[in-house]
Amino acid sequence: MPRILQVENNPVEDAGDLSLFSLDDSEECQDDDEEGLRDIDVYEGNEDDIRTRQKLNSVATISRLRFQPLSSSRFPIPLCRMLAMPMVRPTLTSDLAKLEQEFVHGYRDGASVFYVTLTNEEGKTQEVTESDKASWDPIWRAKNEDFNSFLLSVPELSGFTNLMFFVCDGNHRRHAWLNHIERLHKIDEAWHFLVDSIILETKGKIGLVMQVMHNINK
């Protein structure tokens, strides 16, 4: 498991429990001479070998897409601050019931990471609006304020304050989990989760992101 650093620099007064937020500094970028997704060797061999090499190359590509500095690219994000990006990972209704059922015991440490980005398919960011806040319950609004305080406490992340995060991988989980919380745990603070997330820089690279997400989910 990767080592997690607690954020201790630039503490913010009255920011709530910032111990909820952490940065991962354990992973390093892959070397620039990693094989590319289009290398001919990726497509040689039997089907299982091809699939394995595609996944490995896609993981290497994701590493190169991660927000820099790498130490600031992984931290927990409130589910309410996430938006689906169906072009990358379409949400299938048939999968939602199963995912919601698997969520009956809540979010667990070590669950699959969410891959998110600050820009949508058109390369545009989206700010948190008053309408967004009005649609959240009081607990989500409080989590959002604490999250903004965390972002402001880290210089590399301060520009993310009041921005929504588009989901590249995790659309189904986001949808199913928010539905479950809204229906059954709306007044339960413990169920308003922040989930482990990795920030990707995808502006102008949406086709590449679609390809690598397809490969890692085969």
The band of 32, judged by pLDDT with boundaries at 50, 70 and 90, is very low
For the stretch 177-212, what's the b/e string if a residue is b when 16 or more beta carbons lie within 10 angstroms of its beta carbon? bbebbeeebeeeeebbbbbbbbbbbbeebbebbbbb
pLDDT at 50 over 50: no
Asked whether the CA dihedral 204, 208, 209, 210 is positive or negative, the reply is: positive
Distances (CA, A) of 123 to 36, 84, 129, 167, 202: 23, 14, 19, 13, 8
How far, in Å, CA of 103 to CA of 184, rounded? Answer: 12
More confident residue, 95 or 180: 180
pLDDT at 126 over 60: yes
The band of 9, judged by pLDDT with boundaries at 50, 70 and 90, is very low
Q: What is the pLDDT of residue 29?
A: 39
More confident residue, 25 or 204: 204
More confident residue, 35 or 193: 193
Give residue-wise pLDDT tens across range 190-216: 999 999 999 999 998 988 888 888 776
The band of 83, judged by pLDDT with boundaries at 50, 70 and 90, is very high
Q: What is the pLDDT of residue 139?
A: 98
Q: Where are the beta strands (DSSP E) in the chain?
A: 4-6, 22-24, 74-78, 82-84, 114-117, 165-169, 194-200
The mean per-residue pLDDT over the stretch 24-35 comes to: 43
Highest mean pLDDT among 21-25, 99-103, 137-141: 137-141
Q: What is the pLDDT of residue 28?
A: 42
Q: What is the pLDDT of residue 213?
A: 80
Q: What is the 3-state secondary structure (H, E, C) of 57-121?
A: HHHHHHHHHECCCHHHCEEEEEHHHEEECCCCCCCCHHHHHHHHHHCCCCCCCCCCCEEEECCCC
The answer to whether the beta carbons of residues 12 and 149 sit under 8 Å apart is yes
Looking up tokens 């679609």, which residue turns up?
210
How far, in Å, CA of 168 to CA of 134, rounded? Answer: 25
The mean per-residue pLDDT over the stretch 50-73 comes to: 79
The band of 145, judged by pLDDT with boundaries at 50, 70 and 90, is very high
Beta bridge partner(s), residue 127 = 163
How far, in Å, CA of 196 to CA of 112, rounded? Answer: 8
What does the block give as tokens for 125? Answer: 């960011």
- Amino acid identity, position 95: D
- 161 phi/psi in degrees, rounded to 5: -55, 130
How far, in Å, CA of 26 to CA of 89, rounded? Answer: 27
The mean per-residue pLDDT over the stretch 98-127 comes to: 92
- What mean pLDDT value characterizes the chain? 79
Highest mean pLDDT among 26-35, 56-65, 152-161: 152-161
How far, in Å, CA of 19 to CA of 150, rounded? Answer: 9
More confident residue, 57 or 203: 203
The domain spans of the chain are 20-216
